Structure 1
């Protein structure tokens, strides 16, 4: 398949041409040679106030094979951005990554994306869907990713037809109404109507009863205690202070990667009272710390970890990174690269019109993932004598949840805490919307240990049974 042709524009400004004498216009020189100029103003104003910013930083586009912008893809993503008042740039990068995969597929196979013949299986939508299904069946792609890519393609084609960019000769797909039973906050039952298509790819469940994973926003693997120690020891031995602190914060607070990497230096400016054993920090909406869906969540930092962070922000290593900052918007970030750029740019920073001229990357934690891939996993494979060893940063959240749940259940078993209070505490610390998800953590260790014990008992029985077989009969 072709190389990824998704590119990032440092800044895109949406404007419209207006009259040269428009007092609200801004003079823009289009052709200095012929002294030809026009004026442009933001497209939407209410009571002389701009109600939406039309400056987009780190804006994603897709290129054709010849290097020109893919017209339909650019029009689609601009249309979505201009109609979205909750614009989140990372969402648009995800959409364009999916469409890049689709674009590469149709280009590599010389498929006309606007040709919809009578034979259904020759239409671009069905061909791409079947290609994704083949990747899933060959274990080259997860069913979750395949479903998302099909959904991105469907939304893209809906836009093209609704905006009259083309009219297909035959249907893009077949649709049917689907009604889903749901409950409101008071427990009343209602039905949600959704439109289903015959392009749908079903999730492939993991039926392995001995799986050591937890289903929580994907398949996460809680790390056993010895592996946790081996992991931290491995990272510590690299001498990378930032990565060590980043992993420790995730492991000991349960914070997601975007939360850890958008922490600010100012959050750790005060010393902890001598009588306190921990420090609480509010994250989410209104805090400048990113969380999933801007949900407000309280993180609890152990005192020792908090003090290690305070020592770090006073270190020469950190100050050297601060001195390389070229954008004032990044001044207060706790975690910076050796070039003075954040490992993850927060939503608020992305809204700033003051971007670095030499920055083309949005920075969404890719440096952490590369560190894990290149520095951590190879060493852990050797340390654990496991050539198939895999570790993902998000596994630390599951590990925190498991550690927290085990400590709470121990208090329940000792009669020091009720099961209800233990469940509510884990639910609050993890930020779960329902207790169903929390119970997966509370029951994880006991269920897994029970399955293993039963398997060992069964294997003992098999060995005893086979031990009675006369070897001469075989």
Structure 2
């Protein structure tokens, strides 16, 4: 067994030990109930099954001090780092005088070599530059943490500050921000042009590549394919997996947000509601990116489907098991929508495995051998078609000043999509608009999917852009036009 990480669930730390001798004269140890419980904890173990304390203390710090909701990506990066150290017989805290012999530099060289190598079968790089940089960042974070304790004789790497332009939403206030950088540069050889959409942001398309249509068909038919001994065997798709796919496709939520989305937020919508606005964030135990709260919109038909599910016998049984095992009062108040049959919250690994089975069905039964989308691409699909829907919003023909003219400018569309997707940087949002322009995707739009989004964003209350600024821009503040 190599270096590996284990999802241990809830972990209690900093409890007071109580030593005593029992009636048989045996020494015993009990722990007081004054510890801190860390939820969804991940720990690292070496090839012998022993805990790697240096890594685990840092992972606990990430959870308790940095308040990171999901540390799996950090754990995975550290797993690769300590695995390389184990292979090359290196100590993580020993810093030789030659810089290129220190652990971080050796790890950087390993990641660069892996990124440079191309798989002859797939024609793709063994390791994407984004993944390589993520692994590197995890290892650097470990050393920054321990350097605060004066752990090393020499610097693990050269860390310096640099000024970069701030392209985030409020970047115009402070033009530049200071960031920490290192000399552990990884040369990315898989960069795309600025106007191209990266693979992890690519949407599912229609017509020329009927990917979205194929996905809907597989979800409707309710089966995927699992590979057993080299053979593909049909396997039914669970209700929980279907709901996860629908939530990603029609709300744009991230994977971790879907996995922690609470059933307590679900209710039967009114007949006149096209969509329901819901605020998600740490306050309701929803693990949003960066721990920031934000608003999502759920179509009324999907909300009704969720309402039916949480009142099903299956969910009630799962919820009862979850309540029996859970002591966290916030988790009891906001239980997850997606639970396993054992009453445990759905894990990211389980969802990835189920998505792989769906992807197999799309490839096999729909003649799409190049379908390689990940679950995250469902969020990108939502963003792309939302962009298209907003760009095509027009005033009615009988509008007094702007008949059949676009309601929103491109910049307003980008601002709305950025708000709905909760992007920290407008650059990501801009890619979606450019993507439509450059690929002429209007001809490939899934009309049914687009109409469903139009139902959410097609009225002035739902769009969220009908404020004083917009009305003043079109010269219609407070004015209505004939029906």
TM-score when normalising by structure 1: 0.74
> What is the alpha-carbon distance in structure 1 between the residues aligned to residue 88 and residue 27 of structure 2?
43
Deviation at 1:188, TM superposition (A): 4.6
Aligned to 1:145, what secondary structure does the other structure show?
helix
Deviation at 1:409, TM superposition (A): 1.5
Residue of 172, 195, 220 corresponding to 2:201: 220
Deviation at 1:399, TM superposition (A): 0.6
> What is the alpha-carbon distance in structure 2 between the residues aligned to residue 429 and residue 321 of structure 1?
31
2:261: which partner in 1? 263
Deviation at 1:431, TM superposition (A): 2.2
Contact 2:251 2:296 (8 Å CA) reproduced: yes
Q: Deviations over 1:207-231 (max 9, x none)?
A: 36996xx35xx73111113321210
Q: Deviations over 1:117-176 (max 9, x none)?
A: 3443333322221111001111111112222222322332344444244424xx533445
Residue of 239, 263, 273 corresponding to 2:270: 273
> What is the alpha-carbon distance in structure 2 between the residues aligned to residue 65 and residue 175 of structure 1?
31
Are 1:233 and 2:217 counterparts? yes
Residue of 304, 307, 310 corresponding to 2:307: 310
2:252: which partner in 1? 254
Contact 1:183 1:189 (8 Å CA) reproduced: no
What is the aligned length? Answer: 402
Deviation at 1:66, TM superposition (A): 2.9
Residue of 41, 57, 71 corresponding to 1:59: 41
Task: Name the CA shift for 1:275/1:54 in 2 (closer, same or farther; >3 Å).
Answer: closer
Are 1:88 and 2:93 counterparts? no
Mapping for residues 278-297 of structure 1, pairs under 5 Å: 278-297=275-294
Whichever of the two has the greater Rg, that structure is 1
Mapping for residues 18-29 of structure 1, pairs under 5 Å: 27-29=18-20
1:128: which partner in 2? 107
Aligned to 2:283, what secondary structure does the other structure show?
coil
Contact 1:59 1:89 (8 Å CA) reproduced: no
> What is the alpha-carbon distance in structure 2 between the residues aligned to residue 56 and residue 126 of structure 1?
32
Contact 1:62 1:74 (8 Å CA) reproduced: yes
> What is the alpha-carbon distance in structure 2 between the residues aligned to residue 281 and residue 16 of structure 1?
37
Aligned to 2:284, what secondary structure does the other structure show?
coil
Deviation at 1:397, TM superposition (A): 0.9
Contact 1:179 1:192 (8 Å CA) reproduced: yes
Contact 1:126 1:199 (8 Å CA) reproduced: yes
Task: Name the CA shift for 1:429/1:38 in 2 (closer, same or farther; >3 Å).
Answer: closer
1:415: which partner in 2? 405
> What is the alpha-carbon distance in structure 2 between the residues aligned to residue 296 and residue 320 of structure 1?
30
Deviation at 1:68, TM superposition (A): 2.4
Mapping for residues 40-55 of structure 1, pairs under 5 Å: 54-55=36-37
Aligned to 1:411, what secondary structure does the other structure show?
coil
Deviation at 1:260, TM superposition (A): 2.2
1:357: which partner in 2? none
- RMSD of aligned C-alpha atoms? 3.4
1:358: which partner in 2? none
Mapping for residues 73-472 of structure 1, pairs under 5 Å: 73-78=55-60, 84=65, 86-91=66-71, 93-138=72-117, 139-168=125-154, 171-182=155-166, 185=170, 187-189=172-174, 191-207=176-192, 214-215=197-198, 219-225=200-206, 226-237=210-221, 238=223, 239-269=237-267, 271-325=268-322, 326-328=324-326, 329=331, 332-343=335-346, 363=347, 365-373=348-356, 375-412=357-394, 414-419=404-409, 420-449=411-440
Aligned to 1:90, what secondary structure does the other structure show?
coil
> What is the alpha-carbon distance in structure 2 between the residues aligned to residue 105 and residue 30 of structure 1?
44
Task: Name the CA shift for 1:335/1:438 in 2 (closer, same or farther; >3 Å).
Answer: same
> What is the alpha-carbon distance in structure 2 between the residues aligned to residue 303 and residue 421 of structure 1?
25
TM-score when normalising by structure 2: 0.72
> What is the alpha-carbon distance in structure 2 between the residues aligned to residue 244 and residue 78 of structure 1?
33
Aligned to 2:163, what secondary structure does the other structure show?
strand
